[in-house]
């Protein structure tokens, strides 16, 4: 079974990628809703600002400073996302668990997704794309090992093929190696190109365990933006730390049943 350990990467490199309230929400929602037994964030250098300080103060989150060498197979890499993904795969293969980007909101417990050697979800069935932004596996997964081996063939001539490695390679490997491929709605109910969601239009989240927010398309995204979408009740539950289930405490009442 897939361990209920969740890993994240905050590698700034030489960029000005800042820690935002979306990233803190991601960790909080993982802790509250995903059923994480352990949460680890690998980072290269300290962030700044109140959101970073709040995240660093979260209980139950381990922070490990890591020297991310911007190279693959001895070749310098310009697109550091490739380095992140190699580190992601290496960590999953060695440790097992779930590795996620920091722009997810977790909605449901992942316990029901554990019974597989490896798990990830479709991004676009029509274009034959899976997505490695959120993946889980047992330690020593054959699928993850094969995925990692594809990166070991990487040379500078593949520099512009980030999306091939991120989407197409796992799709092809899923035809041969043991892996559970979840429906798009599981992690990606809001499509890359979806506009109605951000305009307040309805998107069904009933069958979703998590929602990817596509931060690279929305670099200024914040919690205030999410409060204008169908994620509002989920976000409120997390930031207000509301109890789950039918039993909750009210002032002046010991136990109240809805």
Alpha-carbon gap, residue 67 to 73, rounded angstroms? 16
Reported confidence tier of residue 161, pLDDT bands at 50, 70, 90: confident
pLDDT in tens, 93-113: 999 999 999 999 999 999 999
Cα distances from 193 to residues 68, 73, 198, in angstroms, run 31, 34, 11
Distance CA 176, CA 232 (A): 40
Q: Name the strands in the sheet holding 38-43, side by side, starting at the edge strand that comes first in the sequence.
A: 61-65, 38-43, 5-10, 97-100, 129-137, 118-124, 180-182
Among the four given CATH numbers 2.20.25, 3.90.1210, 3.90.550, 1.20.1070, the one describing domain 5-257: 3.90.550
Confidence at residue 244, expressed as pLDDT on a 0 to 100 scale: 53
Model pLDDT for residues 182-208, shown as the tens digit of each residue: 999 999 999 988 999 999 999 999 999
The confidence score (pLDDT) of residue 254 equals: 42
Q: Per-residue pLDDT for 248 more than 80?
A: no
In sequence order, the 6+-apart residues with CB closer than 8 A to the CB of 70 are 13, 76, 77, 80, 83
Report the pLDDT value the prediction gives residue 13, as an integer from 0 to 100: 83
CA distances 231 to 114, 234, 250, Å, are: 25, 5, 25
- Which stretches does DSSP call E strand in 107-209? 118-124, 129-137, 180-182
The C-alpha atoms of residue 141 and residue 116 are separated, in whole angstroms, by 10
């Amino acid at each position: 079974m897939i361990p209920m350990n969740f890993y994240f990467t905050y590698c700034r490199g030489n960029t000005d990628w800042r820690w935002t309230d979306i990233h803190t929400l991601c960790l909080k929602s993982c802790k509250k809703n995903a059923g994480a037994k352990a949460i680890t964030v690998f980072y290269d250098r300290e962030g700044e600002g109140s959101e970073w300080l709040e995240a660093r103060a979260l209980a139950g989150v381990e922070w490990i400073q890591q020297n991310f060498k911007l190279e693959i197979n001895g070749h310098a890499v310009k697109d550091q996302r490739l380095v992140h993904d190699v580190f992601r795969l290496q960590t999953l293969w060695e440790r097992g668990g779930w590795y996620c980007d920091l722009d997810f909101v977790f909605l449901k417990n992942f316990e029901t997704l554990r019974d597989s050697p490896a798990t990830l979800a479709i991004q676009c069935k029509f274009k034959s794309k899976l997505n490695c932004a959120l993946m889980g596996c047992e330690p020593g997964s054959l699928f993850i090992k094969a995925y990692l081996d594809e990166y070991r063939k990487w040379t500078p001539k593949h520099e512009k093929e980030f999306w091939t490695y991120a989407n197409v390679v796992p799709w092809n490997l899923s035809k041969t190696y043991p892996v559970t491929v979840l429906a798009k709605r599981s992690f990606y109910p809001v499509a890359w190109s979806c506009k109605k969601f951000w305009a307040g239009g309805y998107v069904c989240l009933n069958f979703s365990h998590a929602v990817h927010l596509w931060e690279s398309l929305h670099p200024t995204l914040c919690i205030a933006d999410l409060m204008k979408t169908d994620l509002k009740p989920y976000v409120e539950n997390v930031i207000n730390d509301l109890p789950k289930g039918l039993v909750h405490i009210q002032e002046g009442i010991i136990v109240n049943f809805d």
